[in-house]
Amino acid sequence: MMPYYYCLVGIIKREFLRFVQQRTRLLSALIRPLLWLVVFAAGFRAALGVSIMEPYGTYITYQQYITPGLCCMIVLFNGMQSSLSMVYDREMGSMKLLLISPLPRPFLLLCKLIATAILSLIQVCIFLLIAQFVDVDTPVWGYVTAIPAIFLIAFFLGALGLLLSNLIKQLENFAGVMNFVIFPMFFLSSALYPLWKMKEASLWLYWICNYNPFSYCVELLRFALYQELNISAFLVVFLATILVSVLAMFNFAPKRTFRG
């Protein structure tokens, strides 16, 4: 068991040191959702009203409503950036050196996903602390109950990014694929507006949002911040995590060559 433990700690430490050295990574991860929270929230609040009744049976401000979606945005971007580093490591050969370890390849990739999830959790916690200064009043115990939800969401989105990295043949194409995945997943979800509002505007867009797994990530965290468990959201995210993780781990190809 000790080799597995040392491997896990070593990969987590490696990812953390890489994250610390990339100082602008944390800054960019926080500025993007903070702009949405401070600037864009004013316009959406004017359109939707000062408060929203969903989904807790009580009125909450629009800033409070979009905060879980913005947290998931941080996790989504971090998962995709970690996948980009996987593509880079695979192209440079460092990933191949890691995978020649006697430990099973799925375990090594599992450690990578755990490290990615921990980094996402740290970034989200920092964002939630800052959000306290912009009218986001969340119960104190809500932050505690949100930690498992954030970790599960981060693991799912990290595994999704890893699965996408398996399909990328050139490093230069990854940025385009990221945008093709990130923005539809984020905007076609309940991150910025309630699904019942989307249903009033467009029925077919409502069904797309309803079947978007990212919507269930947002709802899982939204309820968790208020110490509630959305069972349907949890089941969808949990099952999607298992499916995507298995596909990502067993389809990883470290020997793929890259051509310009």
With both helix axes pointing from N to C terminus, report the angle between 62-92 and 41-48 in degrees, rounded to the nearest 10: 140
Within a domain: 173: yes
Q: Residue 53's pLDDT band (boundaries 50, 70, 90)?
A: very low
Q: Average pLDDT over the chain, rounded to whole?
A: 80
In the structure encoding, which two tokens stand for residue 109, read together?
């990739």
Within a domain: 257: no
Within a domain: 260: no
Q: Residue 43's pLDDT band (boundaries 50, 70, 90)?
A: low
> What average pLDDT does the segment 187-197 reach?
83
Q: What is the pLDDT of residues 87-105, one digit of tens each?
A: 666 666 566 666 667 778 7
How far apart are alpha carbons 123 and 99 in whole angstroms?
A: 28
Lowest mean pLDDT among 8-12, 87-91, 236-240, 256-260: 256-260
pTM of the model: 0.86
Total domains in the chain come to: 1
Domain residue limits at 54: 2-250
> What average pLDDT does the segment 69-82 reach?
87
Within a domain: 165: yes
> What average pLDDT does the segment 171-199 reach?
78
Lowest mean pLDDT among 108-112, 114-118, 197-201, 205-209: 197-201
Q: Kindly report each contact of residues 15-22 with a partner whose C-beta sits within 8 Å and lies 24 or more positions away, as own/partner.
A: 15/82, 15/112, 15/115, 15/116, 15/118, 15/119, 16/115, 16/118, 16/119, 18/85, 19/119
Within a domain: 258: no
Q: How far is CA 156 from the centre of its chain?
A: 7
CA-nearest of 77, 65, 260 to 160 is 77
Within a domain: 259: no
